[in-house]
Amino acid sequence: MSFVTCDLCDDNADIVSVVTGFNWFSYGGRSAFGGEIVTVKCFEDNSRVKEHLGTEGKGKVLVVDGGGSLRNALIGDMIAENAVKNGWEGVIIYGACRDVDALAQLDIGVVTLGCVPIKSVRRDEGQLNIDIEFGGVVFRPGEYVYADNNGIITAPKALL
């Protein structure tokens, strides 16, 4: 998948929403990725992230509202490796990741607010496929998200 979010914005200005207010970091092996939105809402507990990335994800991007916490990583190398095996395009986390050197070697996009070496707590909590909001954008399951080094955008339909 080859695109630049700047061009997608220019060509679709009337329908795209742009995530603002954050300085995102790209840790995965893909610098640009996009697909159908699947959501998880959780706080410092990656149970639902692990569970969902263990399912078929071809053409999909998992968008996680981790409450902006940088205290516990919501994804690391093992969960990301499983996501690659299941065909996920990428993961966007409003929160943290870990194992960043290993993530850079994987064929998946991983964009987060930062990294921390501390693993997630596991309380088997979190919500799947609900509307979530951060950066002034509502992420709706079934809509589309695109991310690259310029930023993150959403659209109600596929742009590619």
Q: Which domains does the chain have, with CATH numbers?
A: 5-9+25-155 (3.50.30.40)
Name the token pair of 51.
């569970």
Q: Which residues are annotated as a binding site?
A: 76-79, 98-99
User: Parallel, antiparallel, or unpaired: how do β-strands 137-139 and 132-134 relate?
Assistant: antiparallel
Q: Which residue has the tokens 């790209």?
A: 26
How far, in Å, CA of 96 to CA of 115, rounded?
5
Statement: residue 1 has pLDDT above 80: no
List residues bridging with 78 in a β-sheet: none
Annotated binding site for Mg(2+): 99
What are 54-112's pLDDT values in tens digits?
999 999 999 999 999 999 999 999 999 999 999 999 999 999 999 999 999 999 999 99
pLDDT at site 151: 97
Strand partners, 155: 144
What pLDDT was estimated at residue 100? 98
Question: Is the pTM higher than 0.95?
Answer: yes
The per-residue pLDDT for 115 is: 98
Average pLDDT, the chain: 97
Q: Which residues are annotated as a binding site for substrate?
A: 76-79, 98
